[in-house]
């Protein structure tokens, strides 16, 4: 099973390719890399007729040299888009052709090497609200939804499969372990794909899992993993991190210090999450578990809150008790 980590690359000062210390951690503890940013649309497709692969190629080459795979993140998203894409004009057919070309060019570029083994084809397409109160959160407004309609999702997966028939294709989203109406909307989407007379190629559901030490409740998480597994698709924890502040709306944050007690709390939570995954997802359906960053110092959460410690390695790149918790979850699961 892949154990992955999101890494900075390209021009980032923290780039894995420039940091021997970070490489040492990645090489020892992880088998798969996700580019934290440089394989998003704005990076790979900066102008309508121009793709930029140099930074991604360097990362993929590095992964290959270390015997690791790469999970592609992400092809279609409402965010992280180049300006030209946001400004694109045309009818539905033109928009569909543009989307298809975007997916085809990017996936074809990486297909031959077989290092990029899976992709988040569509990321975060479900909104956080259920306006029509049907128990399923709505599709999020985006350039894709607004210009192509709901059919963009199936079209994106079909284009992705045609471009690289060997890649595992994921639908990826946040809060689906803990918000039933959002989770159910994802399950409903998968059902529609599977029941289509010409089934839509999808291979996995990605649970981002930017969670906290207390939310979601572990039983809720287990139920969500089990329901996702019952679709027959792979289930991946794609972006795991565990915030230790339980109320992120409170300013200042409740926690000001990462004490030993807090570290142990986090260790137990990592163990519980990983064990839940191992218990609820049958082996053949395990797409793997990836954490969203190497060290607390690099975490995206730090840009919002100086007092957050969500990952497995501390600011000095030393392993935290959380790492042991993660490992215990892997071996403790049934």
3-class secondary structure, 315: coil
Applying CB under 6 A, which residues contact ligand G3I?
12, 36-37, 80, 174, 208, 239, 300
Shortest approach of ligand G3I to residue 304 CB, angstroms?
9
What HEC string does 6-25 produce?
EECCCCCCCCHHHCHHHHHH
Shortest approach of ligand G3I to residue 194 CB, angstroms?
25
Query: What are the angstrom distances between the C-alpha of 166 and each of 106, 156, 171, 201, 246?
Result: 14, 16, 16, 11, 41
Instruction: Decide whether 138 or 239 has the Cβ nearer to ligand G3I.
Output: 239
Instruction: Decide whether 202 or 240 has the Cβ nearer to ligand G3I.
Output: 240
Shortest approach of ligand G3I to residue 10 CB, angstroms?
8
Of 61, 113, 195, 239, the catalytic one is 239
Instruction: Decide whether 80 or 149 has the Cβ nearer to ligand G3I.
Output: 80
Of 21, 36, 124, 195, the catalytic one is 124
Is 105 a known active-site residue? no
Instruction: Decide whether 80 or 332 has the Cβ nearer to ligand G3I.
Output: 80
> Which residue, 227, 234, 238, 138, is CA-closest to 182?
138
Which residue is closest to ligand G3I by CB?
Answer: 300
Is 133 a known active-site residue? no
Q: What DSSP state is assigned to residue 295?
A: B
Instruction: Decide whether 201 or 293 has the Cβ nearer to ligand G3I.
Output: 293
Shortest approach of ligand G3I to residue 34 CB, angstroms?
9
Residue 23 · residue 29 · CB < 8 Å: no
Shortest approach of ligand G3I to residue 38 CB, angstroms?
9
| Rounded Cα gap, residues 301 and 319, in angstroms | 18
| Rounded Cα gap, residues 243 and 307, in angstroms | 10
Query: What are the angstrom distances between the C-alpha of 331 and each of 176, 204, 268, 334?
Result: 25, 23, 14, 8
**CB atoms near residue 79 (< 10 Å):** 11
For residues 323, 312, 41, 188, the Cα torsion angle rounded to the nearest 10 degrees is 60
What HEC string does 49-83 produce?
CECCCHHHHHHHHHHHHCCCEEEEEEEECCCCCCH
Active site residues: 124, 239
């Amino acid at each position: 099973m892949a154990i992955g980590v999101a890494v900075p690359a390209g021009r980032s000062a923290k780039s894995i390719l420039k940091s021997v210390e970070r490489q040492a951690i990645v090489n020892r503890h992880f088998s798969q890399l996700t580019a934290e940013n440089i394989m998003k649309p704005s990076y790979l497709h900066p102008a309508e007729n121009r793709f930029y692969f140099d930074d991604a190629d360097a990362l993929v080459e590095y992964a290959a040299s270390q015997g690791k795979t790469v999970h592609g993140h992400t092809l279609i998203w409402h965010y992280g888009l180049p300006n030209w894409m946001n400004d694109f004009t045309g009818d539905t057919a033109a928009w569909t052709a543009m989307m298809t070309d975007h997916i085809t060019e990017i996936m074809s570029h990486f297909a031959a090497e077989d290092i990029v083994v899976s992709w988040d084809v569509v990321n975060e397409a479900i909104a956080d609200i259920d306006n029509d109160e049907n128990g399923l959160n709505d599709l999020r407004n985006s350039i894709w939804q607004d210009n192509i309609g709901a059919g963009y999702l199936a079209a994106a997966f079909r284009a992705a499969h045609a471009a690289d028939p060997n890649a595992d294709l994921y639908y990826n989203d946040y809060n689906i372990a803990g918000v039933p109406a959002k989770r159910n909307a994802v399950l409903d989407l998968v059902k529609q794909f599977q029941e289509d007379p010409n089934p839509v190629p999808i291979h996995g559901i990605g649970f981002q899992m930017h969670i906290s030490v207390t939310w979601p409740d572990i039983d809720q998480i287990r139920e969500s993993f089990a329901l996702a597994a019952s679709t027959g698709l792979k289930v991946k924890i794609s972006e795991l991190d565990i915030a230790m502040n339980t109320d992120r709306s409170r300013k200042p944050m409740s926690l000001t210090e990462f004490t030993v007690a807090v570290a142990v709390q986090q260790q137990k939570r990592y163990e519980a999450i990983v064990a839940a995954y191992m218990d609820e997802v049958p082996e053949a359906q395990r797409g793997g578990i990836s954490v969203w960053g190497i060290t607390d110092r690099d975490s995206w959460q730090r840009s919002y809150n100086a007092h957050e410690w969500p990952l497995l390695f501390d600011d000095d790149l030393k392993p935290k008790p959380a790492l042991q918790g993660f490992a215990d979850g892997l071996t403790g699961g049934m």
